[in-house]
A and B are shown apart, each in its own frame.
Chain A
Amino acid sequence: MSRDYGLKVDPDARVADLSVGERQRVEILKALYRDARVLILDEPTAVLTPQEADSLFKTLKSLTKEGFAIIFISHKLHEILAISTRVEVLRRGKIVGSIETEKADRKLLAEMMVGRTVERPVLEQMTIGKPIVELEDVSVEDKSKDTSNVPKLNQVNLSVHQHEIIGIAGVAGNGQSTLADLLSGLEKPDAGTFTLLGNAVTSASPADIVHRGVGRIPEDRHSSGVVGEMMLWENLISEDLRHAPVSKAGVLIDRKACLERANKLIDAFDIRCEGPEAETKLLSGGNMQKLILARALSPQPDFILANQPVRGLDEGAIAYVHEQLLAARKRGAAIVLISEDLDELFALCDRIAVMYHGNLTQSYDAKTLTTAEVGLMMAGQQSENTGHSVTTNSGNEEQPHAN
């Protein structure tokens, strides 16, 4: 079957030893083996490199030729346009439109998704200021017993300046979350130096790092961003409990002052809710993210870590998050944006670096970089001494098409 359908996998390999792309092929083979005629793929490319995604697309196209029906669910518009013959657009659980792919384009689909025109933000030209965050040969060791899964950090170098957004690309699980943990104060460097605003960071303390001017947007807002069962206003104060005006002498919480502040932030960040005393878990994803933005960005931090800040959000909320990051950049913040969505990185970032197996490449000017080059680096195909331009150094058949 593997040969017939062009889904190359080693049948004797243990699934644990396969790459994510290969595991996905196994998954598809399983479905085909059970005589499935309809395949449903839900965000199948989320953990794939662009090259792996291309090969998945080839497979899917050949399957449709053999008479399979495929439902391909994705929030990446370019994928939808590349793979489908017909598009159904869902909004709040209803199909709001159906269109032949030939007649569709990104703008149209985005409009259908949000129900209004979406303007992609334009990156304003700016000169960078002084460095805010500097990592020099920072390593973070794997302290857990099982060494199988997450690669930690290996001699990472990075510097982020005022008025600058640095994007971190990479396939999930290549050390981005450790980098995020380091920059949000949950991890400390085991080797190398982490300098924040001229002072070294040597211990792991989220409270300290927030106090020193870092705003953090966590990867998973439900599990580490908010306490769902607590009220909105309570989640807005969680990062400075022991300081005025939130609490008096660090002991008694000043509920009145907190509610006042919450009301202000709800207005300023347009959080749609029943009020500051509503339960946080009742918020929609976009509004919950706005709450986190309000908490992280309202103290005007010098450095912002945004880890997958738009994951799972609708187009309207995505645009809002991006606007806020760009406004912070304009005001002079230094920003690290970790994302698996290359479109997002290219739209927002001044420079882009790629993580692979705990290593971070140098950062490249986003204007001269192509998605294909990033894709290759995400797959670890560029050795460290290879220069920026992949085309001149290794211009061969393996080079994928830029999309």
Chain B
Amino acid sequence: MQIEPREHVAAWRIALAPVAAVFVSLLIGSVLILWVGAPVLEAYSLLVKGAVGSSFALTETLTRSIPLIFTGLAATIAFRAKFYNIGAEGQLYCGALAATFFGTGLITLPPLLMIPFLMLVGALAGGAALAVPVMLKTHLKVDEVVTTLLLNFVILLFVGYFLEGPLKDPMSMGWPQAAPIIDEGLFPSLVDKSRLHFGFVFALIGSVLCWAMMRFTVWGYEIRAVGLNTSAAKFAGINVNTTVVRTALISGGLAGLAGVSEVAGLKGYLTLDISPGFGYTGIAVAMLAQLNPLAVILSALFISMIYVGADSMSRAINIPTYIADVLVGLSVLSILVSVMLTRYRVRFR
């Protein structure tokens, strides 16, 4: 058996790869569903119904995709520069914390200013959370995977301290949660009688802006060049360290926005469980989207479909909910394999 690069990669292959990957992962997932003794087709049809089958299901899926789009973009931008930010989870909480700090009465502005203001401070806080790891990388060559990953736990404990102490809502009856965001700072609802909020629009705008930045701007050029060939970028006169720091700040800022939108859009107040690992799932979103900011929207929708659908599937027929995690994991694995197969062919001799 031999693996050799394809001379020419057809466009249909690139487009079809994620679709094929998803299909394969559903196929493998069906083995697991059979294993727990449930009918496969019914399970999957329940999953789809639970994800998009009613307007409630649909709005839930869209709502769940909002933080995933933001964290997916955070991973996409960083990974394009080969800066492996695994800390989106922590940066998300930093953004949420900043929104809570400024948005619970410290400052009051009309909504038209208050919402952008909260997003700004959230993004800055998310970026700031990456400042130390990125400086350690550019100045001391400390591996960012380790620092960003471990910082997640530090930040979570830090948030826990605030929620038990200075930021604890006196009206919370002892629960570790912060005071609610003031009305001026809450994202407007998008669809009546649903949880879908304006954050979805912000996430779409964010995707388009990221795509435009990568494609049309000097910054985007520098990010791509540094990620694809650092020494060539350096030789050409691109300041590699500046580019990496800038990329990290943008990435952290995007992850921070996920936190702002969960607090000010969905929940209304900060708790320690606003994110069931959106930061980590964002990496899967980015991989599934092959690091394309526009494709991040589709891949976030797909993954939130699986999560939301699997919830209702497991309620309807007795299947554990973590089948969703397995499906997401499988689709990321198969996308990686299928991406390889678009660029290389396997020959048996």
State in angstroms the CA–CA spacing of A216 and B234 once bound together.
13
9-residue interface stretch from B24-32, B115-123, B160-168, B222-230? B222-230
Within 8 A of B (CB), among A200-230: 205-208, 210, 216, 218, 223-230
A238 touches B218 (CB 8 A): no
Contact with A along B62-100 (1 / 0, CB 8 A): 000000000000000000000000000000000000000
Question: A223 and B231: CB pair below 8 A?
Answer: yes
* A230 in contact with B235 (CB, 8 Å): no
Distance (whole angstroms) from the CB of A185 to the closest CB of chain B: 7
Interface residues of B in 271-311 (CB under 8 A from A): none
Question: Within the complex, which residue of B218, B221, B228, B235 is in contact with A225, where a contact is CB–CB below 8 Å?
Answer: B235
B216, B231, B238, B239: the one within 8 Å of A238 (CB): B238
Q: Does B237 contact A (CB under 8 A)?
A: yes
Query: Would you call A234 an interface residue if the criterion is a C-beta within 8 Å of the partner chain's C-beta atoms?
Result: yes
Closest to A228 in B: B229
**Contacting residues, chain B, for A210 (C-beta < 8 A):** 237
Q: Mark B234-253 against chain A: 1 for CB-CB distance below 8 A, else 0.
A: 11111100000000000000
Given A227-B225, A227-B228, A230-B225, A206:B234 Cβ within 8 A? yes
Alpha-carbon separation in the docked complex, A206 to B235 (Å) = 6
Whether the pair A186, B234 counts as a contact (CB closer than 8 A) is: yes
Contacts of B217 in A (CB 8 A): 251-253
Interface 9-mer from A6-14, A73-81, A116-124, A239-247: A239-247
In the complex, chain B residues 201-218 whose Cβ is within 8 Å of any chain A Cβ? 216-218
Q: Which of A139-169 contact B (CB under 8 A)?
A: none
B233 interface contact, C-beta 8 A = yes
Interface residues on chain B, number (Cβ under 8 Å) = 19
State whether the Cβ of B232 lies closer than 8 Å to any Cβ in chain A: yes
Bound state CA distance, A238 and B233, in angstroms?
A: 8
Taken together as a complex, chains A and B put the C-alpha atoms of A400 and B185 apart, in Å, by 85
Q: Which residues of chain B are within 8 angstroms of A250 by Cβ–Cβ distance?
A: 218
Distance to closest chain B CB from A289 (angstroms): 14
Cβ-defined contact, B225 with A238, below 8 A = yes
Q: Contact: A224 with B231, CB < 8 Å? A: yes
- Contacting residues, chain B, for A242 (C-beta < 8 A): 218
Contact (Cβ within 8 A) A184 B225? no
Report the minimum CB–CB distance from A257 to chain B (whole Å): 13
| Chain A residues whose C-beta falls within 8 Å of the C-beta of B228 in the assembled complex | 227-230
B232 touches A241 (CB 8 A): no
* Residue A255 at the chain B interface, CB threshold 8 Å: yes
**Do A205 and B237 have beta carbons less than 8 Å apart?**
yes
Given the complex, which residues of B lie within 8 Å of A255, measured CB to CB? 216
Interface residue ranges, B against A (CB under 8 Å):
216-219, 221-222, 224-225, 228-229, 231-239
User: Chain A residues in contact with chain B, CB under 8 A?
Assistant: 184-186, 205-208, 210, 216, 218, 223-230, 234, 238-239, 241-242, 247, 250-253, 255
11 pairs across A/B with beta carbons < 8 Å?
A: A206-B235, A206-B236, A216-B235, A223-B229, A225-B235, A226-B229, A227-B225, A227-B229, A229-B229, A238-B237, A238-B238
Question: Beyond A186-B234, A206-B237, A226-B229: 19 further Cβ-contacts under 8 Å?
Answer: A184-B235, A186-B235, A207-B238, A207-B239, A224-B231, A227-B228, A227-B229, A227-B232, A227-B233, A229-B228, A229-B229, A230-B224, A230-B225, A238-B232, A239-B237, A241-B221, A250-B218, A251-B219, A252-B218
